[in-house]
Structure 1
Amino acid sequence: MALTLASAAELLRAHHLLREIIHGDAWTLDPARVEGSDVPFADVTYDTRTVEKGSLLFCKGNFKAAYLDGVDAKGLAAYVAETDLSDATKAPGLIVDDARKAMSLLSAAFFGRPQDELTVVGITGTKGKTTTAYFTQAILNAASEGRAALFSSVDNCLDGHTYKESDLTTPESLDAFRMMREAANNGMKYLVMEVSSQAYKVDRVYGLTFDVGAFLNISPDHISPIEHPTFEDYLNCKRRITANSRTLVLGADCAHADLIREDAAAANVPVTTFALHNAGRDEGTPADVIAWPANADHSAYDLASDGAELGAFRLALDGDFNYANAAAAIAIAHAAGVPLDDATALHAIEPITIAGRMERFEDPQSNTIAIVDYAHNFASVTALIDFVYERYGKRDPRITLVTGSAGNKAVDRRKEIVEAAEHRIANFVFTAEDTNTEPFIDICMEMQGYITDPNVTSTVISDRGTAITNAVYDARAHADRFNVLLLIGKGNERWIKDRNRHVPYEGDDHVIERLFGLNQK
């Protein structure tokens, strides 16, 4: 059914969000008092630059009345806001308690509730969301002849096979429902999406119930004045996925797992668990789906579910933690309806690679490898270095970490990255990462100041390409050792955010390919 001012008011009132409708001098709860209240909106937007005739505009965030200059001439039909803007536009206003919540509800309605035509999977956690999402999509695609869509922090895919770079881990609600509609129209049966803590903090998924929700793990991250003021707030936002899911997949070893189980019990949400066991099948936390090493070098893992052997899996992605992600994906796909005896579908995860995630490059000129990864906090850096020692420990690796940290947010990461690495590596190279207004050099110098281990060396080189070049030349100068270069935080991104602008950047993977003399992709 088409969205009109009248139906929008009714929906907002049902969710206790509507204060009143303001049109000129009239303040009312009755949309019938507004001329044209039954005329369908032609479009919905939160950007005044895209307003066209018949548009409904959402005035969210730090919206200023000055942004409305010229919108009446464009044909604005109505606006949704938390304050009266009738001095700036002649269009009627739906005045609400929360514009972001209103935008999510009304966008879903405008696009015909596409979530009802899809089996929607939502995945949250501090680390592993992206990889688990790609693995899950691969299984669902294999089980449905390519009818699984994806929203991730790397790419969005609306037709099961075409991937386009994404802007946010979880899109703004209006964009998400628009893309869901496109996916449903493309014949998709499933949608797998990453769900960030910010998605709940700023109501990007308000009103959306996941058919399968997944809570992978939790550790402190995104703690800053503009994100989450405390770890408790961060965890609380992520916990909301439980009550907003029809069934939950939970990491059995997740911190605060008991609290999340209590959330699930209170909401009558059934829970399936997964776990990674470091030794044999029976050594570790009991879980419904488990993975454990199939060989001594951890290059393959056996998996089982509810006692049934699923066989050995050999992933294209390195790292024990990726087998935990594989166990999670299998549990999620099964909860979404994929039979555990569909070996073809389950093994579809094996060839999956993700640009900028655990990409390994070998230098033909020296005894050196480089790993490009998106690790960017204590947990992920720890897991990455654990992998290096598990896979290469016998070769006594000399490890160099090329890293920076985000500016203007997640300030806790700066010290934690250093703490995770300093006693386990030989050298830091601190360099540029994304920032709004903080100078790269200030962040790098702050991180260098957290080093307490006198045996680790460090360099600050704010230009990222130069920093990687320096790390490569330094490794070649230590040719008597096996060198491992860890290039983290940017993955395959082709830009660096500086002063609120996306400045073109070659990409860590392309830089290392060029320096190693490899064929560039």
Structure 2
Amino acid sequence: MTVTLASAAQLLKRHGLLREIIRADRWTLDAHDIEGADTAFSAITYDTRDVREGTLLCCKGRFKAEYLHDIDERGLAAYVADTDFSAETGAPGLIVNDARKAMSLLSAEFYGRPQDELTVVGITGTKGKTTTAYFTQAVLNAHSHGKAALFSSVDNCLDGHTYVESDLTTPESMDAFRMMREAADNGMKYLVMEVSSQAYKVERVYGLTFDVATFLNISPDHISPIEHPTFEDYLYCKRQIVRNSRALVLGAASDHADLLRQDAADAGVPVTTFELLDGQSPAGSDAADVTASPANAEHSAYRIAADGADLGEFRLALDGDFNYANAAAALAIAHAAGIDLTADAAATHAMEPVRIAGRMEQFHDPQSNTLAIVDYAHNYASVTALLDFVDERFGSQHPRITLVTGSAGNKAYDRRKEIVEAAQHRIDSFIFTAEDTDTEPFIDICTEMQRYITVPGIASTVISDRPTAVTNAIYDARAHADRFNIILIIGKGDERWIKDHNKHVPFEGDDRIVERMFA
């Protein structure tokens, strides 16, 4: 779709964002007062290093005027900003009330509104987003013969089968629409994407309406001065997905589900629910639309029903009963997207073999009675779910449990205490180590977490080098070979880098360290 200065100005006016257009000493609301107003932009970017002839530049975030030095020589056609930069460039500036909102709208237009060519599924929640996204993509891929794309915190997939490691849970709006364009051009019919609270906080999905929005669950997370100052703000940002959707899939057992139902009713959005049940739903009860119920006493399999129709028994490759709730969510999403689950058994069962690198990966040590589990758990809810799984599956063996953990720097400060609180009554020892930081020293985060331990006698060690921390946990388990040892290594999954001072420093990876040691 062609975007010009004139069409961009009209779009921003319609959304109440345009303040004025400035070029040198000329201020106007009519783009046609500016020469070349109907000339199409050749490119769009938010990185000044990518500016070339005919580029529209979006100046977002902490943009500095010095970034525009010599920009006219490289062919800047126009810029969008909430600040007047006419002293630095002769290019016209679309001055707006919110540069991030403007960037999202303009990016969608520049890439030809690819969302209109896809059935777009958005998934939010405190835990389970990634697993649900992968399950959903598997179901939609099977149904559409490989035409489902994916944006996740682990990988992006734009052709139904090729997975590339991602940088953000939800991409920047410009990147998201560019990748949507590529997915649509690749013949994709569906897009499944994780939607973080920050995506709404910083307008990464502004103007995007999801064909199916999914709200899995909610618990406190990401509470910090630079993310969400309060839980109310965190929940409010996540709730925005409801009003920006055509259909909602809701975890019936989610905290604040009644409020979310009110959001949906106010917006006229129909609701499909899912729920993990302790037993079979009583006849005549107000059961969820999609339910997962234990198929046997050991909970090694669940039967899933949709609108009362039995879809059969499911056995997932991913361990953990909580993953059956994610499976029920995935089928509820497919149901809300218009797929007849009872008529496509191959699609409904396509999620059974799904594995996600770095999520609930189990490794057995041939040299000792030791099990290591590598997982992305990183907050109170996910650590609790992981320990619930360990207790249910291995509690009768009275394992000696070691938790290798850290926490992110400069954000989500609440996680540091909550990880300790979730674990300290249920494990034998902590090893605190490096995770991703911005500018905070690893050692400061680790020692802070160590101070939150209140259980007398629990062992704790601080080892800031992560490979050394994982290695030491294994050596320690082997030194206690008279007991069954479980080592939980959380936070990084299969990531091959540690973020330090905003740079990705290469890192072997928790899973590979364990594989190497156990080999």
TM-score, normalised relative to structure 1: 0.98
> SS of the counterpart of 2:334?
helix
Runs of 4+ in structure 1 deviating by more than 4 angstroms, as ranges, are none
Partner of 2:220: 220
Shift of 1:476: 0.9
CA distance in 2, matches of 1:162, 1:149: 9
Shift of 1:294: 1.4
Which sits farther off after the overlay, 291-300 or 129-138?
291-300
* Contact 2:406–2:435 (CA under 8 A) maintained in structure 1: yes
What amino acid is aligned across from residue 425 of structure 1 in structure 2? I
Partner of 1:295: 296
Partner of 1:73: 73
What amino acid is aligned across from residue 255 of structure 1 in structure 2? D
Partner of 1:439: 441
* Contact 1:149–1:191 (CA under 8 A) maintained in structure 2: yes
CA distance in 1, matches of 2:389, 2:22: 60
CA distance in 1, matches of 2:443, 2:32: 59
Shift of 1:279: 3.2
Pairing of 1:148-159 with structure 2 (within 5 A): 148-159=148-159
Partner of 2:337: 336
CA distance in 2, matches of 1:407, 1:486: 21
Cα deviation, 1:47-72, whole Å, max 9, x if unaligned, reads 00000100000001011110001210
Partner of 1:238: 238
Which runs of 5 or more structure 1 residues have no equivalent in the other structure? none
Residue 398 in structure 1 maps to residue 415 in structure 2: no
CA distance in 2, matches of 1:229, 1:186: 41
* Contact 1:441–1:462 (CA under 8 A) maintained in structure 2: yes
Partner of 1:507: 509
* Contact 1:22–1:84 (CA under 8 A) maintained in structure 2: yes
Which sits farther off after the overlay, 289-298 or 377-386?
289-298
CA distance in 2, matches of 1:99, 1:162: 33
Which sits farther off after the overlay, 457-466 or 286-295?
286-295
Partner of 1:248: 248
> SS of the counterpart of 1:90?
coil
Cα deviation, 1:197-249, whole Å, max 9, x if unaligned, reads 00000000000000000000000000001100000000000000000000000
Cα deviation, 1:269-292, whole Å, max 9, x if unaligned, reads 000100111233449983111112
* Contact 2:281–2:287 (CA under 8 A) maintained in structure 1: no
* Contact 1:83–1:95 (CA under 8 A) maintained in structure 2: yes
CA distance in 1, matches of 2:412, 2:110: 35
Identity %: 76
> SS of the counterpart of 2:409?
coil
What amino acid is aligned across from residue 297 of structure 1 in structure 2? E
CA distance in 2, matches of 1:299, 1:43: 52
> SS of the counterpart of 2:350?
helix
What amino acid is aligned across from residue 291 of structure 2 in structure 1? I
Shift of 1:502: 1.1
* Contact 2:198–2:227 (CA under 8 A) maintained in structure 1: yes
What amino acid is aligned across from residue 393 of structure 2 in structure 1? R
What amino acid is aligned across from residue 461 of structure 2 in structure 1? T
Partner of 1:110: 110
Cα deviation, 1:297-337, whole Å, max 9, x if unaligned, reads 22211111111111110000000110000000000011112
Partner of 1:182: 182
> SS of the counterpart of 1:348?
coil
Pairing of 1:199-218 with structure 2 (within 5 A): 199-218=199-218
CA distance in 1, matches of 2:294, 2:514: 31
What amino acid is aligned across from residue 88 of structure 1 in structure 2? E
The CA RMSD over aligned residues, in Å, is 1.0
Which sits farther off after the overlay, 474-483 or 258-267?
474-483
Cα deviation, 1:116-142, whole Å, max 9, x if unaligned, reads 000000000000000000000000000
What amino acid is aligned across from residue 396 of structure 1 in structure 2? H
Which sits farther off after the overlay, 498-507 or 100-109?
498-507
TM-score, normalised relative to structure 2: 0.99
Partner of 2:126: 126
What amino acid is aligned across from residue 45 of structure 2 in structure 1? T
CA distance in 2, matches of 1:272, 1:499: 43
* Contact 1:292–1:302 (CA under 8 A) maintained in structure 2: yes
Partner of 1:479: 481
Which sits farther off after the overlay, 4-13 or 299-308?
299-308
CA distance in 1, matches of 2:25, 2:47: 26
* Contact 1:275–1:285 (CA under 8 A) maintained in structure 2: no
CA distance in 2, matches of 1:413, 1:457: 20
CA distance in 2, matches of 1:12, 1:231: 32
> SS of the counterpart of 1:77?
strand
Cα deviation, 1:128-167, whole Å, max 9, x if unaligned, reads 0000000000000000010000000000000000000101
What amino acid is aligned across from residue 508 of structure 1 in structure 2? D
CA distance in 2, matches of 1:281, 1:426: 38
